Amino acid sequence: MKSKSKSSILLKLLILQYYLSVFCFSEQNFDFFYFVQQWPGSYCDTQKSCCYPTTGKPAADFGIHGLWPNYQDGSYPSNCDPDSPFKQSEISDLRSSMQKNWPTLACPSGDGIQFWTHEWDKHGTCSESVLDQHGYFEAALNLRNKANILQSLTNAGIQPDGKSYSLSSIKDSIKEAVGYTPWIECNVDESGNTQLYQVYLCVDTSGSGFIECPVFPRSGKCGSEIEFPTF
Ligand code: 5GP
Ligand code: 5GP
C-alpha cells in the first residue's frame, strides 16, 4: 500500500514536470533552423530598389539574410526575449566577416548594425537556449562558409548573367554541392520577370549542420524557368 501511494505521487510529479516544461519553457523550443541567403542583384533590381552599405558595394555573391528558428508545422517563434538586446561589443571579433558575408541592402544606407539587430531581436532571441549572441552570429557565418551557393551554381554553368535557368537545374546543382535540397524563393524585377531571390537550407537545432528540410517555406513561388540577374 505504502509503496503504491509513493509511486503514484512520483507519477503525479512526473506529469506535473512534463506540463511545466511544455507550458512554461516552450517559448525557447524550436525544431530546426532555416538558413537564408539572398542574391543582392535580385534585392536591388526591384521597384523598391536598394542602397549599398556605408562600407561600400558588397561583392557579387550571396549574402546572409538570417538564421531562423522554425517549427515542424511551418510556423515559427519570433521576438522571444525583449530582455536580450543586440550588443555590438559581443560580436566585435566577427564584425569584418559580417560586413563581408551579411551585408545590408535596405535603404537608407547603413553599416549593418540595424539589419543584424533586427535579425537578432526577431529570430536570434528564439534560439537562445542553444546559442548566445556570439554563438548565433558565428554559427551563421560558419554555415555560409559551408554552403557556397554561387560557386555551386557557376560550377554547373549557372551564372548571374541576366539569363533564364530552369528551377530544377538550380536546385539540383545546389543539392549536388551542399548535399541537401534547398528551397528557392523568387521575387519580381522592375520589368515583372520572376527571378532567383533567396536560397533556404535547413539546419539542425545546434546550428552547425545542414539537414533535409522537415517542411518547406510557403513564400515566393517560382516558375519553372527563372532569371539570375547580374549585380
Ligand atoms: P516574407 O513575408 O517577406 O516572406 O517574410 C518576411 C519575414 O518573415 C522574413 O524575413 C522572416 O523574418 C520572416 N519569415 C518568413 N517566412 C518565415 C519562415 O518560414 N520561418 C521563419 N522563421 N521566419 C519567416
Ligand atoms: P525580415 O524580413 O528578416 O523580418 O526583416 C528584414 C528587415 O531587415 C527589414 O525590415 C529590412 O528593411 C531590413 N533589412 C536591412 N537590410 C536588409 C537586406 O539586405 N535584406 C533584407 N531582406 N532585409 C534587410
Q: Give the cell for residue 63.
A: 549574402
Residue 218's pLDDT is: 87
Our answer on whether the CB atom of 219 is closer than 6 Å to any ligand 1 atom is: yes
Minimal CA–CA distance to 187: which of 227, 230, 151, 231?
A: 227
Percent of the chain with pLDDT over 70: 88
Q: Give the cell for residue 168.
A: 530544377
Name which of 5-14, 78-87, 111-120, 181-190 the model is least confident about. 5-14
Between the two ends of the chain, the Cα-to-Cα distance in Å is 77
Phi, psi of 151 (to 5 degrees): -65, -40
The whole-number average pLDDT for the span 194-214 is 98
Sequence ranges of the domains in the chain: 1-29, 31-227
Told to judge if 134 belongs to the known catalytic residues of this protein, a careful annotator would answer no
Domain at 31-227, CATH class: alpha beta
The one catalytic residue among 27, 123, 134, 212: 123
Residue 221's pLDDT is: 87
Residue 191 has pLDDT above 70, yes or no: yes
Residue 14 has pLDDT above 90, yes or no: no
Local structure of 133: helix, strand or coil:
helix
d(CA 80, CA 122): 7
Average pLDDT score over the chain: 92
Element containing residue 117 per DSSP (H, E): helix 113-122
Ligand nearest to the CA of 119: 2
Angle at 148 between CA 94 and CA 133, to 5 degrees: 30
Residue 3 has pLDDT above 80, yes or no: no
Local structure of 125: helix, strand or coil:
helix
Residue 226 has pLDDT above 90, yes or no: yes
Local structure of 196: helix, strand or coil:
strand
Q: Give the cell for residue 188.
A: 519580381
CA 21–ligand 2 middle distance (angstroms): 33
Local structure of 220: helix, strand or coil:
coil
Give per-residue pLDDT as tens, 129-160.
999 999 999 999 999 999 999 999 999 999 99
Give per-residue pLDDT as tens, 43-68.
999 999 999 999 999 999 999 999 99
Told to judge if 65 belongs to the known catalytic residues of this protein, a careful annotator would answer yes
Minimal CA–CA distance to 209: which of 221, 218, 201?
A: 201
Element containing residue 66 per DSSP (H, E): strand 63-70
Residue 26's pLDDT is: 45
CA 70–ligand 1 middle distance (angstroms): 10
Give per-residue pLDDT as tens, 17-43.
555 444 444 444 899 999 999 999 999
3-state secondary structure 135-162: HHHHHHHHHHHHCCHHHHHHHCCCCCCC
CA 173, distance to chain mean position in Å, is 20
- pLDDT-derived band at 6, boundaries 50, 70, 90: low
Local structure of 198: helix, strand or coil:
strand
